[in-house]
Amino acid sequence: MVDVRYETAFTLYPYERSADQDAQSPARHPVVIVGGGPVGMGMALELGLKNVPCVVLDDHDGVGVGSRAICFAKRTLEICDRMGAADPMVDLGVVWNVGRVFRDERQIYDFNLLPEEGHKRPAFINLQQPYFEKFLVERIRAAQAEGAPIEIRGKNRVLSVDSHDDHVVLEVDTPEGPYRMEADYMVACDGARSPVRTMLGHDFTGRVFEDNFLICDVKMTADFPTERWFWFDPPFNRGQSVLLHKQPDDIWRIDFQLGWDIDRKAVVQPEYYMPKVQAMLGEGVEFEPEWVSVYTFQCMSMDEYRHGRVFFAGDSAHQVSPFGARGCNGGIQDVDNLGWKLAAVIKGEAGERLLDTYQEERKHGADENILNSSRTTDFMTPKTEIAKLFRESVLDLVEHTDAMRPLVNSGRLSVPCVYDGSSLNGADDASLPQRTRVGATLVDAPTDQGWLIDRIGGRFQLFTVNSEFKPEGLDLDLVDVIVAPDDLIAERYLGGAEQAVYLIRPDQVIAARWVNPTTADVSAALKTAMGG
Partner 1 sequence: MDKLFTPNIEDADGFYAELLAAHEGLSEAESHALNARLVLLLSNVVGDRDVLSRAFELAKQAG
The footprint of partner 1 (CB under 8 A) covers 372, 375, 378-379, 384-387, 390, 396-397, 399-407, 409, 412
Name the minimum Å distance from CB 332 to partner 1: 23
User: Rounded to whole angstroms, how far apart are CA atoms 529 and 518?
Assistant: 17
Name the minimum Å distance from CB 325 to partner 1: 16
User: Rounded to whole angstroms, how far apart are CA atoms 338 and 189?
Assistant: 12
> Looking at beta carbons only, is 134 or 391 nearer to partner 1?
391
User: Rounded to whole angstroms, how far apart are CA atoms 474 and 197?
Assistant: 41
Are 321 and 209 spatial neighbours (Cβ–Cβ below 8 Å)?
yes
> Looking at beta carbons only, is 375 or 437 nearer to partner 1?
375
Name the minimum Å distance from CB 111 to partner 1: 12
Are 120 and 452 spatial neighbours (Cβ–Cβ below 8 Å)?
no
User: Rounded to whole angstroms, how far apart are CA atoms 277 and 330?
Assistant: 31
Are 148 and 51 spatial neighbours (Cβ–Cβ below 8 Å)?
yes
> Looking at beta carbons only, is 295 or 390 nearer to partner 1?
390
Q: Phi/psi of residue 391, each to 5°?
A: -60, -50
DSSP 404: G
> Looking at beta carbons only, is 185 or 232 nearer to partner 1?
232
Name the minimum Å distance from CB 256 to partner 1: 25
> Looking at beta carbons only, is 279 or 389 nearer to partner 1?
389
User: Rounded to whole angstroms, how far apart are CA atoms 475 and 227?
Assistant: 48
Are 483 and 466 spatial neighbours (Cβ–Cβ below 8 Å)?
yes
> Looking at beta carbons only, is 24 or 401 nearer to partner 1?
401
A 10 A CB-CB count for 356 gives: 15
> Looking at beta carbons only, is 145 or 386 nearer to partner 1?
386
Partners of 463 in beta bridges: 479, 502
Name the minimum Å distance from CB 320 to partner 1: 15
Name the minimum Å distance from CB 389 to partner 1: 8
Torsion of CA 261, 262, 264, 268, to 10 degrees: -150
Q: Phi/psi of residue 285, each to 5°?
A: -75, 125
Name the minimum Å distance from CB 230 to partner 1: 17
> Looking at beta carbons only, is 249 or 396 nearer to partner 1?
396
Torsion of CA 101, 102, 107, 112, to 10 degrees: 10
Name the minimum Å distance from CB 406 to partner 1: 4
Exposure of 3 by Cβ count < 10 A (0-12 exposed, 13-18 middle, 19+ buried)? exposed
Are 13 and 152 spatial neighbours (Cβ–Cβ below 8 Å)?
yes
> Looking at beta carbons only, is 27 or 397 nearer to partner 1?
397
Helix or strand holding residue 74 (H, E): helix 74-82
Name the minimum Å distance from CB 370 to partner 1: 13
